[in-house]
Amino acid sequence: MDESKARKLVNKYIKGIRNGLQLWQWEINITYMHQEDALAELKIDAEYKKANIRINHDDHETEADLLRTLFHELLHIMHADFELYRDQVWETVSKRQAEVLDKSYTYACEKTVGRLLAIFEHGLGYDIKQFVKRTNYVNDKRLS
């Protein structure tokens, strides 16, 4: 997908996804890049509630693929407080222990995000667009 189409799609859905995941207080910056080994990259500063998501727009062929990647990265932000805990633990262990812990932490985070995404897609039967539509409906009802 070209960058302008990816940017337009993300801009259309990001607010609804953020609202649905209750990430209102986060400052989220999204950029677009080409990277060989990842669909997206996320950098989190959990203490200041800031996140940078870099999306590899070239490796997404459909809107559904791109929205799924965006949702995946936003799910990581939902449990960002664990990043603070991890960083504190790293300060108390050796470099080798930190490497082992990092592998375990990364594996656990990816598994958790994968399970959360499966709940939305298969357990609740939502695709991302339906999730945003439902979120907007609930928010509109709450505000009226």
CA-to-CA distance for 60 and 46, rounded, in angstroms? 28
Regarding pTM above 0.95, the answer is no
Tens digit of each residue's pLDDT (9 = 90 or more) over 121-132: 887 878 888 888
Tens digit of each residue's pLDDT (9 = 90 or more) over 58-106: 899 999 999 999 999 999 999 888 888 888 888 899 999 989 998 999 9
Query: Is residue 144 one of the residues assigned to a domain?
Result: no
Query: Is residue 50 one of the residues assigned to a domain?
Result: yes
Angle between helices 95-118 and 81-90 (to 10 degrees): 170
Query: Is residue 55 one of the residues assigned to a domain?
Result: yes
Query: Is residue 98 one of the residues assigned to a domain?
Result: yes
What CATH number is associated with residue 21? Answer: 3.30.2010
The structural domain count of the chain equals 1
Quote the domain boundaries for residue 113.
3-134
Query: Is residue 52 one of the residues assigned to a domain?
Result: yes
Query: Is residue 66 one of the residues assigned to a domain?
Result: yes
Token code pair at residue 98: 């930190």
